[in-house]
Amino acid sequence: MDTPWTMNLPSPDTLINRELGILEFQRRVLAQAEDPTVPLLERLRFLCIFSSNMDEFFEVRVAGLKEQILANSTQRSADGLTPRQQYRAVSETAHALVARQYELFNREIIPALAQEGVHFIRRTHWNEAQAAWIRDYFFRELMPVLTPVGLDPAHPFPRVLNKSLNFAVELSGRDAFGRNSGAAVVQAPRALPRVIRMPEEIAGCEYGFVFLSSILHAHVGELFTGMTVEGCYQFRATRNSDLFVDEEETKNLRQALQGELPQRNFGAAVRLEVADNCSPAMAAFLLEQFELGADDLYQENGPVNLVRLMQVPDWVDRPDLKFPPFVPALPTRLGKDDDIFTQIRKGDILLHHPFESFQPVIDFIERAAADPQVLAIRQTVYRTGTDSKLMQALIRAAQSGKEVTVVVELLARFDEEANINWAARLEEAGAHVVYGVVGHKTHAKLALVVRREDGGLRRYAHLGTGNYHARTARLYTDFGLMTCDDTVTADVSSLFTQITGLGKAGKLKRLWQSPFTLHSEVVAAINREAEFAAAGKPAAIVAKMNALLEPQVIAALYAASQAGVKIDLIVRGVCALKPGIAGLSDNIRVRSIVGRFLEHTRIFYFRNGGDEQVYLSSADWMDRNFFRRIETGFPILNPKLKKRVIAEGLKPYLRDNVQAWEMQPDGSYRRRAKRGAKAFCAQTTLLALLAR
């Protein structure tokens, strides 16, 4: 018989749709570009981030819906919608968001930048000198690399790369061979810049830019001598970018992926973007070529590839239009002694990125690679970048004869090519490279060093919530723990043995691990809080993560709320749980923080009858993280560091009234009202507290 604080899985009407929840997050990202208190060039950057996020949403999420529709799937989402119902709702919301994006770009961002001396000069406003410079640029830099394709029986519609910039050209007249097909396609090579900076003396201002699309529009006729250009329209197709690799049947995953990666550029089309002046006839023709319907068409008032403006803020030297610079701090202990192993032996070290430097993590691996007392290094790699100092250190360690084992996740979406390259280089250096466990992505963030000390062996470990990626460590909020605690490092060692070898999973003493114990431990911890509340004792849960979707966890949270547990959830992205519903989730509050840094930490706090539990994790509360990935949750055992995690990772975010959005029961979000209170921004406060 169920106890009063347990319940069955949540019914569909108590859940928010995943796809619509993702779009609600994109709405909050777009709101950063709308916010006049955000520096102007950063507002432009947020517009580009929104574009990039939407690209991935179509490449993966919309592509998945379309595959289900094509297969006539009747499987409903957790909230009870069919694939077609989801697609219709997604299409309506996405069209509205994109329309708002371009309205913001044209009516606010571009005029505001012009007032600050940063001009995007449209072709209708070129003066004689500018037109001459652009004409020369076209013949010198563009025309030699452009290949126009006239459409006729001998020249079928070309294979258009995923997200590439293209131009559909309507023509009249006959060419040298007497052909008059009336249409052509010009593809802009990816090597060409999408924004070109004019010389200051030509632009008439310090920062004058012209769009590649404007130059091609003005001179496309030069590619079709003797014919008349009746219309020229930008277009861009987004394709399904999920890779299909049958891990069960594949003998060499790396080789299989290398063969599959080039096909990502030619998956089934899922979206067509065109300039808003595109003729109805041409739009219909393009939709037909890509086998898309009217709902898949996005007509946009401006460049169809806004994501390529991401570099503009870096090109413009105007600090007053950007976020203030900062220098990540180095923990005091690490500044006193060059021997990082000595410092770790003195006690666990907590790093809070990006406010604190990622350099100690690099130093940890580099020092291990160079230290003759170090016998072995093991590390997981999910995302690390193309110029990683960490990977270079591991290569040096392997070359020097150390036992180096690297678990490389080849199926890290959109990082597959970089990871394949690192895997090859590591193997050439003599490292043991494994690709995890079939059917389970290795998403845990772990590094283990085995060192000979005083006649015995000691293990040192780094465990984190974020990737081993120095660049994103300046952009994402994450925690990392460096420790030589015997039980924790023994667990890390056991986990590596599980991944690289064979055999049944042994019970870990400190770590929670997917796919074996993380889910059950999280649910058990939630249920314990419900038991405390039902017994009339104080009970509380605070959890911070990127996404919350797993139904059993949501059911446990609903039950805990009904038992009287006070629950605060800080969920950056999609949250399927509905807060604040009478009789169901009265005691649950959900908020999202969207700001300068991408919130990426996963922190799980349980009051636990006064013996507070604090876990950091690589995992969100999603089905995939609990059951289809190798993840870890690791406890903060040092009381001082536990207080730090609470004081830095949770309390400021619960207090934030600047960048916080509060989720409503219907899944929408509202900015948290200040109501006369002094403005408090978590990220700004942490910068002032920790960084320099």
| Catalytic residue ranges | 443
**CA 598 from chain center: how many Å?**
9
Between CA 84 and CA 58 the distance in angstroms is: 15
CA dihedral of 364, 370, 372, 375, whole degrees rounded to 10? 60
Please name which of 610, 58, 554 lies closest in space to residue 290, comparing C-alpha atoms.
Answer: 58
What are the helix (H) ranges across 578-650? Answer: 623-627, 639-644
What are the helix (H) ranges across 548-649? Answer: 551-563, 623-627, 639-644
How many CB atoms are located within 10 Å of the residue 668 CB?
A: 13
- Both tokens of 633, joined, read 């949750």
Between CA 598 and CA 471 the distance in angstroms is: 13
Give the DSSP per-residue string, 370-416.
H-TTEEEEEEEES---TT-HHHHHHHHHHHTT-EEEEEE-TTSTT-H
Helix axes 18-34, 83-104, angle to 10 degrees: 0
Residue type for position 446: L
How many CB atoms are located within 10 Å of the residue 528 CB?
A: 19
What are the helix (H) ranges across 583-647? Answer: 623-627, 639-644
Secondary structure class of 575 (helix, strand, coil): strand
Between CA 492 and CA 382 the distance in angstroms is: 17
Residue type for position 535: A
Q: Calculate Rg over the CA atoms of the chain.
A: 27
